[in-house]
Amino acid sequence: MRWLEKRWYQPDLSIWLLWPLTLVFWCLSALRRWLYRAGIKHVVKLEVPVIVVGNISVGGTGKTPLVIRLCQWLKQQGYHPGVVSRGYGGKAPAYPFSVTADSDPALVGDEPVLIRHHLGCPLVVDPDRVRGARYLIDQNKCNVIVCDDGLQHYRLGRDVEILVMDGERRLGNQHLLPMGPLREGLWRLKTVDFVVVNGGVARSGEHLMALEPGQLVNVKYPSQTQSISELKKPAIALAGIGNPERFFKLLDKRQVKLKQRLVFADHYPFKAGDIPEDLVLMTEKDAVKCRSFASSQWWYLPVSAKLTEQFKQQLLDKIDGI
């Protein structure tokens, strides 16, 4: 997968060998969209505003920090938000499944646990996002639903679509899977309500989002924190996320001395023995899966999303007008 991903973001004519598979992917995707437009498959409209935060490219774009910040901001505006997520990689015993900060990532997925750690609002995982959203409305009296991912989950009717894009990698070679990283074509950029760019430079019509790192937090003893500048020796950096380079560049920018960089697959289910007994820096998404066997030498670096006032005001106007 890493071999293929590199060719998505640099010129490589060999990618055209995958054209027949991309054609099949396009046909299936187009058929699925047509079924909804024709009314053969039905879109379910809920009685409260639904905000979908997602992307059209595979790999990490920064949507999880955005979901967290959006819910925090919505609460400040007087709303009672709830979050519904597919719970990628999780195997809950039943759905909808309510997530707490102490839930097992193996059951609900790593990103839902991370989100719930930062939010006091309800969060459920459910492959059927309509069912999960209705549960939030009926059982938790949520008056706005934030869907974590699900831009292509057309059965769930939505009032606001927010597309998150990596500001540096953007959309790569702009081909559909597997020739490129796209789940949907470039036309999708014109149909969403907001395009939020994580880092880099925002173009016309886009909104810039910055990820700001906080204090290092000890994975085993979360009450212990320290500044990055307090590190006394070179560390091992570890990342099992969609775009590990973003984490490594963040550490480089803060002049952290690294002696090794370990890359794992996105959503990798860490177990004891995978990580060295050494000074290790990891992402918060990785840390939630390592708590039960963590070493006191392991630290994670949380990040928070900073949004522009223009974006927040336009989003508020959109929600209030529903």
Query: pLDDT tens digits for 257-301?
Result: 999 999 998 889 999 899 999 999 999 999 999 999 999 999 999
Quick count: other Cβ atoms within 10 Å of Cβ 125? 28
Q: What burial letters (b/e) apply to 236-262, b meaning 16+ CB within 10 Å? A: bbbbbbbbbebbbebbeeeebeeeeee
Is the Cβ–Cβ distance between 307 and 211 less than 8 Å?
Answer: no
Between CA 155 and CA 171 the distance in angstroms is: 25
Nearest to 71 by CA among 322, 305, 313, 283: 305
Query: pLDDT tens digits for 132-185?
Result: 999 999 999 999 999 999 899 999 999 999 999 999 999 999 999 999 999 999
Residue 1 confidence (pLDDT): 67
Query: pLDDT tens digits for 210-256?
Result: 999 999 999 999 999 999 988 989 999 999 998 899 999 999 999 99
Q: Which residues are annotated as a binding site for ATP?
A: 57-64
The answer to whether residue 36 scores a pLDDT higher than 70 is yes
Residue 90 confidence (pLDDT): 84
Tell the residue number behind the tokens 């973001």, with chain if given. 9
Q: What is the DSSP letter of 132?
A: H
Residues 6+ apart with CB under 8 A from 208: 167, 196, 197, 201, 202, 308
Q: Which residues are annotated as a binding site?
A: 57-64
Is the Cβ–Cβ distance between 251 and 279 less than 8 Å?
Answer: no
Is the Cβ–Cβ distance between 238 and 278 less than 8 Å?
Answer: no
Q: Measured between alpha carbons, how far is residue 8 from residues 4, 22, 108 in Å?
A: 7, 13, 30
